[in-house]
Structure 1
């Protein structure tokens, strides 16, 4: 394994997907960008290109992948975003182009064995924790549970906001059966949803009657949130990283025409693929809104996460400041 002078944080999971990696990357950006110059490196899953690409003003979801493009759309002016299948080759290119970088956030790199990251953040959902899951095809794990030994921090994502101390203790006990150290921090995060914002030109007013459309790995928490806040009229669920087509938009337009008081609500991840020139005629017609969300921790868990990451990166960060 190769280690680089610029410290890195690998964020990932043991399962096939749906643990909230991109929201966690965005959370870490917000947590760290006030003190450090950050870069994000992703494989760019689902993109129509290959090789290393540094995101720029002409980038699109098709070029760099929907999740990297989502991150670039939010943080591109303050954070470098790049994609590259071979991280061991992409990191030197990224550093050469952005030599001022203090920390690299490696998206979906928990299982990447060629680069030695300085901190490993393992994500597992409250709904399907890895200690109750099994390796594919019996479950969704990409490797066995013992892979958790590499974790420096474990974050249980998508937790209910009222999760009890007893339940937290149970999760910690189960998770620490598989971590390399019984003192490995096990933290808990919930999803906080913001207010819907307009995406299409037709989105002039919010009616609260929702046609929910998404192409994510698991829409369980999303549907629950929308049901609690609005009137959920219908749900259209596509597979994770779904590539929207003209026929998809025609189908959604027909549903809306039959119910013109509905609004189409989707995720920020899906917006990167819907809000494109090819669908401009539908954007003129269908009122499309995006529902933003981000992970939240209680104050003590957030402080522990920050302290743990700084402890793991401290030596390289100090060396960088000295140089």
Structure 2
């Protein structure tokens, strides 16, 4: 793995910056606590709907595996109901309520909704920053709504709220923005109906599980599940499966604009030690300059075996028209991921979700 970052200096400076920002975190936390109290007390209206609404969310900024979990739920439920997914459409350059179609790009609807649509073209994929308005639009022709990344959107009261925790972050200090990564206090976890710890090691010991229970302390009515990343066969940018594996002597150019690329780095390092990481911020809009830099380094690489790997979410933002000619000259592979429940938890999780949906009427 190639890196030039002075990690000890960088870590120390980040810790110092966190302490400088701590007073702002206190102020931010006070605002969030008051806001949540207003919703809990009924002073702010939280809208309920007469159809099943499932929310997938997390407490931290960044990736805890919300998109793979939403896709898991789509696969589980799409044959039973007229299902639609509803997201904010983070990073899009449009406003208001939109539904995805064959010509929609990540610039118009956001990278995650674009990913959902291309994987499930028979499912309605919608975006709207106002989730209440979005549900009101969708409920005319749908009887099940999946809300992606809406745990903090208190204007909607979902029928079932699934809260995700990244296993790697559970042991870290739980500080609010901007000093930390929490969007609301850790105590807000007790608002969830179901909890899932994601990105766990596939061989999770009882001791590790017990530490997780102690960290989260779920209530008696809050079932807790454990899951790991399930890496799927590689694909090309069009979504076609590539029947190839990464050669041990290959140089891998890894292109990411996601919140936490560390698990993917660890996965690829099992197959190849030569990784050159082009790392950008979460939801980064790739430019021609970014792709030109990648292409130049790829061309200059002396390795006889070299490939480029990116994530599904990044592939959506690479699909804009102005980037396609440059990308057509490069061997770009896409690494899809899924959800793998541990400790035989999948049957219980599936039954819990299906029972909730079954208890609600088929029609509005």
Instruction: State the TM-score, normalizing by the size of structure 1.
Output: 0.91
SS in structure 2 opposite 1:289?
A: strand
Report the equivalent of 1:137. 178
Contact 2:228 2:342 in 1 (8 A): no
Contact 2:113 2:127 in 1 (8 A): yes
Report the equivalent of 2:281. 239
Match of 2:222 among 172, 184, 191: 184
User: Structure 2 regions of 5+ residues with no counterpart?
Assistant: 1-45
Separation in 2, partners of 1:68, 1:39: 11
Q: Does 1:112 align with 2:141?
A: no
Contact 1:17 1:217 in 2 (8 A): yes
SS in structure 2 opposite 1:160?
A: coil
SS in structure 1 opposite 2:275?
A: strand
Separation in 2, partners of 1:136, 1:15: 9
Q: Does 1:266 align with 2:310?
A: yes
Separation in 1, partners of 2:285, 2:127: 19
Contact 1:211 1:263 in 2 (8 A): yes
Report the equivalent of 1:196. 234
Equivalent positions of 1:207-226 (< 5 A) are 208=247, 209=250, 210-226=252-268
**Residue-by-residue CA offset, 1:57-105 (whole Å, 9 max, x unaligned):** 221111100010000010022x110000001111111223xx1x23110
**Residue-by-residue CA offset, 1:214-242 (whole Å, 9 max, x unaligned):** 00001110100000123433111100000
SS in structure 2 opposite 1:198?
A: coil
Report the equivalent of 1:173. 214
CA deviation after TM superposition for structure 1 residue 125, in Å: 0.4
| Structure with greater Cα Rg | 2
Separation in 1, partners of 2:134, 2:91: 18
Report the equivalent of 2:8. none
CA deviation after TM superposition for structure 1 residue 122, in Å: 0.3
Separation in 1, partners of 2:120, 2:171: 31
Separation in 2, partners of 1:205, 1:313: 40
Contact 1:25 1:105 in 2 (8 A): yes
Separation in 2, partners of 1:143, 1:5: 28
Equivalent positions of 1:1-323 (< 5 A) are 1-77=46-122, 79-96=123-140, 99=141, 101-129=142-170, 132-176=173-217, 179=218, 181-199=219-237, 208=247, 209=250, 210-259=252-301, 261-298=305-342, 300-316=344-360, 319-320=361-362
CA deviation after TM superposition for structure 1 residue 300, in Å: 3.2
SS in structure 2 opposite 1:229?
A: coil
SS in structure 2 opposite 1:189?
A: strand
CA deviation after TM superposition for structure 1 residue 207, in Å: 6.1
SS in structure 1 opposite 2:158?
A: coil
Instruction: State the TM-score, normalizing by the size of structure 2.
Output: 0.81
Q: Aligned Cα RMSD in Å? A: 2.1
Q: Once superposed, which parts of structure 1, at least 4 consecutive aligned residues long, lie more than 4 Å away?
A: 203-207
Contact 2:318 2:324 in 1 (8 A): no
Contact 2:114 2:316 in 1 (8 A): yes
User: Structure 1 regions of 5+ residues with no counterpart?
Assistant: none
